[in-house]
Amino acid sequence: MTANMRTCAGPVDFPAISDFMYSLYWPNNQDGNWLQPMWEYAYTHPWFDEESVPRIGIWEDAGTIVGVTLYELHLGEAFFQTHPTCVHLKPEMLAYAEQHLAGTTDEGKRYLKAYVSDFDTAFERVVRSRGYEKEPGSHRPMSQFVIPDPFPSIRLPDGFRLKSLADDNDLVKIDRVLWRGFNHPGAPPDGSLEGRKKTQSGPHFRKDLSIVVEAPSGDFVAYGGLWFDPVNRLGYVEPVATDPDYRRMGLGTAAVLEGIRRCGELGATVAYVGTDMPFYLDMGFKKLFTLNCWVRCFSSD
């Protein structure tokens, strides 16, 4: 099969890349291809590098996308989405990423972090042969939760309650819980509400699947964001955070489980999260595979 490469044309390609990612999924696949919500979450993230979108590489066969090489938030990282019949394109996609998606360190050195599934030994051999070394701290596990039916009851301490953003989309409270929950000191910076609005701008963002825990004070103190993929009937968890003053009370678990429960009501049978933190394993997620991070620094010639 021959495939032609072109660069991403910007927002107009967002739906086509989404459709491609929907088509790549099958239950329990460990090839490292992204779930569509991962693409949408990255694309609408406040830190997403919009200027570099034209560097995203798209491979097509007779007008059908068969491969995409892209970064998650910024240059310096490369993820490889390939149709199972086109894995032979990966070396070419890696070479493209080295040319067009490399980042630059503070010292001015070009580098690339290439993410490869631990089940993709063929591609692992390629990156090794091109001088990449594994960077253990930057790996990306993927874990899966089989949604029980019936769904067990979700417990919360007295005085706390679960809400969704469909009930109360208070951006100031959302901003506060996500800022504090991701361990940032002080108050959220000016202008961060715009970023929160951007995260809600994706075509598949659902307020009814974005769950918060409201404390007796009225503050939102835990957040569990869920995405629903109606094509493959799965949920995807992102982002999740609990205010440091309210941790280890079961609030983060309750928010995530409520979002997953709602995905189950919509027809999802499994949910995924891009981590193997004990927090998720303890609520029933099991690791499926890991995207290992392989890094190479390029000489300045």
Ligand X SMILES: CC(C)(COP(=O)(O)OP(=O)(O)OC[C@H]1O[C@@H](n2cnc3c(N)ncnc32)[C@H](O)[C@@H]1OP(=O)(O)O)[C@@H](O)C(=O)NCCC(=O)NCCS
CA distance 258 to 179: 21
One-letter identity of residue 201: S
240 binds ligand X (CB under 6 A): yes
**Closest residue to bound ligand X by CB:** 252
45 binds ligand X (CB under 6 A): no
CA distance 75 to 97: 9
Q: Tell me if 255 sits within 8 A of 222, measured CB to CB.
A: yes
Q: Characterize the bridge pairing of strands 103-104 and 210-214.
A: unpaired
Q: Which of 232, 242, 290, 292 binds ligand X (CB under 6 A)?
A: 242
247 binds ligand X (CB under 6 A): yes
241 binds ligand X (CB under 6 A): yes
Q: Please, what is the minimum distance in Å from the beta carbon of residue 92 to ligand X? A: 33
252 binds ligand X (CB under 6 A): yes
Give the nearer residue to ligand X in terms of CB position, either 80 or 236.
Answer: 236
One-letter identity of residue 90: K
Candidates 68, 93, 96, 70; CA nearest to 83 is: 68
CA distance 79 to 114: 6
Q: Please, what is the minimum distance in Å from the beta carbon of residue 156 to ligand X? A: 10
Q: Please, what is the minimum distance in Å from the beta carbon of residue 183 to ligand X? A: 6
Q: Which of 37, 76, 250, 264 binds ligand X (CB under 6 A)?
A: 250
Q: Tell me if 86 sits within 8 A of 66, measured CB to CB.
A: yes
Q: Please, what is the minimum distance in Å from the beta carbon of residue 130 to ligand X? A: 31
Candidate ranges 24-32, 149-157, 167-175, 240-248; the one touching ligand X (CB under 6 A): 240-248
